[in-house]
Amino acid sequence: MSNDGRPASADHLDLVRTLADLAREFGNSRQVRTTDDVLDSVLSVSIELVEPADHASVGSVGGAATSATGFPRRATSDVASTLDDVQVSAGAGPSVEVLSTVDEEPTAIAGSVEQWPALAETATASGVRSIAAVPMFTKERTLGVLTLYSVTESAFDDDDLTVATAVAAHAAIALQGVQKEAQFRSGLASRDIIGQAKGMLMERFEVDSVQAFEMLSRLSQDNNRPLHLLAADIVEAGAKLRQESS
């Protein structure tokens, strides 16, 4: 039963279960997820839950292969990839409009392909009649856009956009988590390599930890090279010397 006493439909229950499963999948802290994992799940669930959607893509309009937010654009078909490329090249289309929203919260856009002349010819030739673009965003920023393509005229109604928006919201949170995890792991790796370089300097020049770090910092400034990259250079050079002397 629903909160107002009415029986919930089977379709509604299936939708709730699928979204709950998606949330649990994205929130599984024991599983190390990649960006590709998240994007593949988003595309699969979008096609499953948004009934009119025949093709789907996810990413950020900003490049042919990689989005401005750092994850690759992906699509369920060549049709979706081609229509994404047309939007990128023309700088026009629902996905572009969604991502161009800066001063206010982005909202989903849907309509017939004729609304976007730069896209209409290619879309019609591909059999696509309707498009929906749904922002993937958090409170901090917009991460990308989920774009749905349908062969049906005026295919996407408010209910479809509500479902797609829910999927996109889960995706945005998951992507943000993946990116933060990657940053965390990168930070750990950087600290580890800096520690190795410090140890080599301490052994080579008979200095303490503080002095070794000061040496690294000075070298980093003098060479205008990030500290972790300079440390990696030192560790690599040390490894080569050990190989040559062995």
Of residues 65 and 75, more confidence is placed in 75
Q: What is the pLDDT of residue 12?
A: 56
With beta carbons less than 8 A apart as the criterion, state whether 166 and 46 touch.
no
Q: What is the pLDDT of residue 25?
A: 55
Indicate the pLDDT class of residue 81, thresholds 50, 70 and 90: very high
Mean pLDDT of 40-59: 89
Q: Which of 165, 180, 195 is the last residue of a domain?
A: 180
Q: What is the pLDDT of residue 150?
A: 97
Q: Which helix (H) or strand (E) holds 135?
A: strand 130-137
Q: What is the pLDDT of residue 5?
A: 47
Indicate the pLDDT class of residue 29, thresholds 50, 70 and 90: very low
> Is residue 206 situated within a structural domain?
yes
Mean pLDDT of 156-167: 90
Average pLDDT, the chain: 79
| pLDDT tens digits along 112-155 | 999 999 999 999 999 999 999 999 887 777 788 999 999 999 99
Residues 27 and 120 reside in one and the same domain: yes
Q: What is the pLDDT of residue 57?
A: 92
Mean pLDDT of 218-233: 86
CATH number of the domain that residue 47 is part of: 3.30.450.40
Task: Count how many domains the chain has.
Answer: 2
Q: What is the pLDDT of residue 102?
A: 58
> Is residue 5 situated within a structural domain?
no
Mean pLDDT of 70-77: 76
The tally of CA atoms less than 13 A away on the side-chain side of residue 95 is 32
Residues 69 and 147 reside in one and the same domain: yes
Q: What whole-number distance in Å separates Cα of residue 57 and Cα of residue 35?
A: 14
Q: What is the pLDDT of residue 241?
A: 77
> What are 191's two structure tokens?
């600290």
> Is residue 2 situated within a structural domain?
no
Q: What is the pLDDT of residue 44?
A: 87
Q: Which residue is listed with tokens 């896209």?
A: 119
CATH number of the domain that residue 231 is part of: 1.10.10.10
> How do 109-112 and 74-75 pair as beta strands?
unpaired
Residues 166 and 63 reside in one and the same domain: yes
Residues 133 and 216 reside in one and the same domain: no
Residue 160 lies in domain: 10-180
Q: What is the pLDDT of residue 39?
A: 81
Please say if the pLDDT value at position 80 is more than 80.
yes
Q: What whole-number distance in Å separates Cα of residue 171 and Cα of residue 143?
A: 9
Of residues 43 and 240, more confidence is placed in 43
Residues 61 and 84 reside in one and the same domain: yes
| pLDDT tens digits along 164-196 | 998 888 878 877 766 665 565 666 567 788 888
Please say if the pLDDT value at position 42 is more than 90.
no
Residues 78 and 196 reside in one and the same domain: no
Residues 106 and 130 reside in one and the same domain: yes
Residues 194 and 234 reside in one and the same domain: yes
Q: What is the pLDDT of residue 11?
A: 59
Residues 102 and 29 reside in one and the same domain: yes
Residues 135 and 116 reside in one and the same domain: yes
> Is residue 217 situated within a structural domain?
yes
Q: Which of 135, 162, 180 is the last residue of a domain?
A: 180
Mean pLDDT of 65-73: 51
Please say if the pLDDT value at position 198 is more than 60.
yes
